[in-house]
Amino acid sequence: MTTPLKQLPAWKALEAHASSIKATHLRQLFADDPSRGERLTAEAEGIFLDYSKHRITDETLKLFLQLAEESGLREKLDAMFRGDKINITENRAVLHVALRAPKDAVIEFDGKNVVPEVHAVLDKMAAFADQLRSGKWLGYTEKPIRNIVNIGIGGSDLGPVMAYEALRHYSDRDLTFRFVSNVDGTDFHEATRDLDQEETLFIISSKTFTTLETMTNAHTARAWSLGKLKEHAAVARHFVAVSTNAQEVSKFGIDTANMFGFWDWVGGRYSMDSAIGLSTMIAIGPDHYRAMLAGFHSMDEHFRTTPFDKNLPFLMGALAIWYNDFFDAQTVAVLPYDQYLKRFPAYLQQLTMESNGKHVTLDGRVVDYQTGPIFWGEPGTNGQHSFYQLIHQGTKLIPCDFIGFFKSLNPIGRHHDLLMSNVFAQAEALAFGKTAEELKAENVADWLIPHKTFEGNRPSSVLLADHMTPATLGKLIALYEHSVFVQGAIWQIDSFDQWGVELGKVLAVRIIPELESAEEPALKHDSSTNALIRKYRAHRRPTA
């Protein structure tokens, strides 16, 4: 049995250290060490991290390094890269790093090198993407495909949507991309209402090919297509699948020649660079897609080989634990100052919260500390005019990740300098605030001073890179993936299962016939659920 986390000497030392540091303001930490702003930074693979505006000292980092040691972080990391079955509750390896390994790498799983298979799928995706992009993939009526609709949910949607938005600059603007995830029929309707069936291809993306939402949307898509194309043979030209489940794919009617596979050892939320990225590859082309994979790989290598004191995922993971467990912070705000990253916070929500929203350790003990924080955010500067008030002057401590670029892909007038000035200003205001004395010196009326005072001492990281490229996106995602790994490994939890999503699915399946049956069903739920079902039945649109 592993030593419980709170009994580790480093954890205990961190507890004591946290209570001493809580009394120190960031203003003081900066005054004590004028080089702090340059010293507490790290850079790897073109990603620069300024972590100086955190409520930490060199001692904090030293204790986290000790915690890594006592937690066996290095061995856990090696076990993941080696393909050990570290997802113990599902008895699965966790090998998303193999998805971006170069052709000549050797990563063995069950005694077999998986890298050649990964590249065979990539080559098949590339051939398909090239055909579509060059207009050679024709629909059933011989018209070239112009519209690509990805149907998937969770990891089979959020990654593709986020990457499409993030890399729009690199995308083929003659093709239209849409994403359908919600089982709400409105999602499908609005995504397809202006599309022509003859020019539309659906990618049904589902690791399991059994997910209720995706399969419902896939059947609706087939009916929508055949509504115009009539012949069942049209499915072969208008539907492809991305899945690990060949049997279900062919049951649906998609030729497995038009299926792009991946593997059990790729978790849903770690799959955007597997065949699940097919829509991304069609949008940006195989060369850009490969550059994205190279970006992922370079961050994997940085994580695997760099000592933890200079290791970006480690530093970010340690900071997340620091506030979550020692400062009672409940959330982390992710604030990309780049419009192309507008879906990045939503993507990170699944990555972080489905991974680390766990309450028992690997050996089944209920934890007596906090695990995964809530991730949320919006692109800057929009958030500044809505929720930043609470971050600056509310009663909650919300560590922030600011993400910005030196160069804009759309350099229009002064826009980029204005945008970036806000990154620096917000991080500065959060850390240093504005004191009553400063307000007095500005002749602010006494009664207004409490309202206008900014306490400061609110922590943030600033991440900077040159400009948004496919490779940069890969690095950023891998950075967060591995930061999540660091947190989960230290919390001693299984970051790679997701049992918490199951109960709701089972109950929904039980409720469906209770909503749809012509006869009044005998309801056996609690009184609230029974009453809600009765009310819905009384008001729902009668079936035609």
Binding residues vs ligand F6P (CB under 6 A): 153-156, 206-208, 211, 214, 268-269, 354, 498, 501
Q: How far is the CB of 483 from ligand F6P (least distance, A)?
A: 19
Q: Are 476 and 302 in contact (CB under 8 A)?
A: no
Distance CA 525, CA 544 (A): 28
Is 539 catalytic? The answer is no
Q: How far is the CB of 205 from ligand F6P (least distance, A)?
A: 7
How far from chain centre, in Å, is Cα 439? 41
Q: How far is the CB of 160 from ligand F6P (least distance, A)?
A: 11
Number of other CB atoms surrounding residue 496 within 10 Å:
26
Distance CA 485, CA 494 (A): 9
Catalytic site residue from 385, 451, 524, 539: 385
Name the residue nearer to ligand F6P (CB basis): 171 or 206.
206
Q: How far is the CB of 458 from ligand F6P (least distance, A)?
A: 33
Buried b (16+ CB within 10 A) or exposed e, 291-317: bbbebbbbbbbbbbebebeebbbbbbb
Name the residue nearer to ligand F6P (CB basis): 50 or 157.
157
Q: Are 373 and 324 in contact (CB under 8 A)?
A: yes
Name the residue nearer to ligand F6P (CB basis): 206 or 460.
206
What are the structure tokens assigned to 221, written together? 């898509």
**453, HSE (Cβ side, Cα atoms, 13 Å):** 12
Name the residue nearer to ligand F6P (CB basis): 274 or 457.
274
Distance CA 381, CA 342 (A): 11
Distance CA 296, CA 101 (A): 9
For residue 334, give the 3-state DSSP assignment: strand
12, containing H or E segment? helix 9-21
Burial class (CB in 10 A: 0-12, 13-18, 19+), 340: buried
Q: How far is the CB of 183 from ligand F6P (least distance, A)?
A: 12
Name the residue nearer to ligand F6P (CB basis): 155 or 277.
155
Q: Are 373 and 400 in contact (CB under 8 A)?
A: no
Q: How far is the CB of 213 from ligand F6P (least distance, A)?
A: 8
Cite the beta strand spans of 181-321 per DSSP E. 200-205, 239-243, 259-261
170, containing H or E segment? none
Q: How far is the CB of 516 from ligand F6P (least distance, A)?
A: 22
Is 143 catalytic? The answer is no
Cite the beta strand spans of 51-198 per DSSP E. 108-109, 112-113, 147-151, 176-180
Name the residue nearer to ligand F6P (CB basis): 264 or 309.
264
Is 440 catalytic? The answer is no
137, containing H or E segment? none
Name the residue nearer to ligand F6P (CB basis): 31 or 508.
508
Catalytic site residue from 407, 505, 516, 535: 505
Angstrom CA distances, 179 to 87, 151, 437, 451, stand at 30, 6, 53, 45
Catalytic site residue from 165, 213, 354, 481: 354
Distance CA 174, CA 287 (A): 18
Name the residue nearer to ligand F6P (CB basis): 3 or 208.
208
Q: How far is the CB of 330 from ligand F6P (least distance, A)?
A: 23
Q: Which residue lies nearest ligand F6P, judged by its C-beta?
A: 268
Active site residues: 354, 385, 505
